[in-house]
Amino acid sequence: MQLYNLEDKNILKKKLMEEPFKRVTVSFYRYVIIENPLELRDELYQEWSELNAFGRTYLAKEGINAQMSVPEENWYEFVQKVHAREYFKNIPFKIAVEDDGKSFYKLKVKVRNKIVADGLNDGDFDVTNVGKHLTAKEFNEALADPNSLVIDMRNHYESEVGHFEGALCPDADTFREELPQVEEILKGNEDKKVLLYCTGGIRCEKASAYLKHKGIQDVNQLHGGIIDYVRQIKAEKLDNKFKGKNFVFDERLGERISEEIISECHQCGKPCDDHTNCSNDDCHLLFIQCAECAEKMDGACTPECQEIANMPVEMQREIRKGKEKPDAHSVYKSRLRPKLNQKIDN
């Protein structure tokens, strides 16, 4: 069996949009020692392909980090097969808050050195000595404690469109970059009750262990992250303390958690929390763009990118030849952020 995809992405996206059945979008992770990630990678790819499952999964010797889209008719079998493996026995599944079934259009299972890039040497501290896991109810109660310090462990473009009330949101482009910023924030606040949260909980697992290693005593983390928080507040009819959208790393780019729009279009300044990737294939910068600016700019982040995106494909390829692709985070800081106060003319 072929263990990778060869079809053009546009064909795959068209097939996805034409599917007559519903899909379930789910995420799950676990830190567990996997003896042979390469072998497991091939087994999972074949197993999930037979179930017509799409998604993106990272495997490493330290565990699994998966976001998947599974046909409803195959959901029960998918769960059974995942739980049947000793590595993933009873692994918790986090079902998407908003799901149109169009989150992924193909299957990727990759082996990496780590399931989350954190830049840490895990041999330096006990990665299993994590913070206390809080339910949604306990997290809400802790938010009301004046001695609490709540920290968003996600990237700036995630927290920009949604975060918990009173949260400190470091201006970080990556999880690796955020950890030292959080350490700096906590200097002089070692006696605070520290509340950590992220999308599904995986980043907080490593962050809480690292902060405890650094001497922070009262470290707590939102169990199941924002995704499971929403499930719990709905089930238990609790107050929602999260404002805006929950950014997700799939085709949807976001799940609405509350009606508040707390961010603005990077090009005109109107209230907006819709992310898009720049239409210039040599850029693909992730930024916030309203519908009006998307139409005016043809989905591009700057006039320069708009001009390139509208060129014939062959000409675009010629421009890209021998050109090193810039880092998207650096581009955002140098090209787009300075323009937030110099909006594109209407």
**Residue 159 belongs to some domain of the structure:** yes
Decide which of 46, 78, 111 is a domain's last residue.
Answer: 111
Q: Residues 41, 95: one domain? A: yes
Q: Which CATH number goes with the domain that contains 134?
A: 3.40.250.10
Ramachandran bin of 215, using left for φ above 0, alpha for ψ from -120 to 50, beta for the remaining angles: left
**Residue 11 belongs to some domain of the structure:** no
Q: Residues 107, 128: one domain? A: no
Please count the structural domains in the chain. Answer: 3
Kindly state the helix (H) or strand (E) to which residue 63 belongs, with its residue range: strand 63-71
**Residue 190 belongs to some domain of the structure:** yes
The pLDDT of residue 263 is 96
Q: Residues 96, 187: one domain? A: no
* Residue 265 is among the residues annotated as catalytic for this protein: no
Gap between the Cα atoms of 181 and 170, Å rounded: 7
**Residue 56 belongs to some domain of the structure:** yes
Gap between the Cα atoms of 255 and 244, Å rounded: 9
Gap between the Cα atoms of 109 and 160, Å rounded: 29
Coil, strand, or helix at residue 36? coil
Gap between the Cα atoms of 125 and 215, Å rounded: 12
Gap between the Cα atoms of 167 and 165, Å rounded: 6
Q: Which residue range is the domain that position 142 belongs to?
A: 122-236
Catalytic residue among 169, 198, 278, 305: 198
Q: Is the pLDDT of residue 2 over 60?
A: no
Is residue 92 within 8 Å of 232, Cβ to Cβ?
A: no
Q: Residues 105, 131: one domain? A: no
Dump pLDDT digits (tens) for 170-206: 999 899 999 999 999 999 888 899 999 999 999 999 9
**Residue 245 belongs to some domain of the structure:** no
The pLDDT of residue 1 is 55
Q: Residues 100, 128: one domain? A: no
Dump pLDDT digits (tens) for 110-147: 999 999 988 888 888 888 899 999 999 999 999 999 99
Q: Residues 107, 139: one domain? A: no
Q: Residues 106, 127: one domain? A: no
Q: Residues 140, 225: one domain? A: yes
Q: Residues 83, 187: one domain? A: no
Q: Residues 228, 138: one domain? A: yes
Q: Residues 226, 325: one domain? A: no
Dump pLDDT digits (tens) for 218-266: 999 999 999 999 999 999 999 999 999 999 988 888 999 999 999 999 9
Decide which of 171, 205, 236 is a domain's last residue.
Answer: 236
Kindly state the helix (H) or strand (E) to which residue 278 belongs, with its residue range: none
**Residue 260 belongs to some domain of the structure:** no
**Residue 135 belongs to some domain of the structure:** yes
Decide which of 236, 254, 285 is a domain's last residue.
Answer: 236
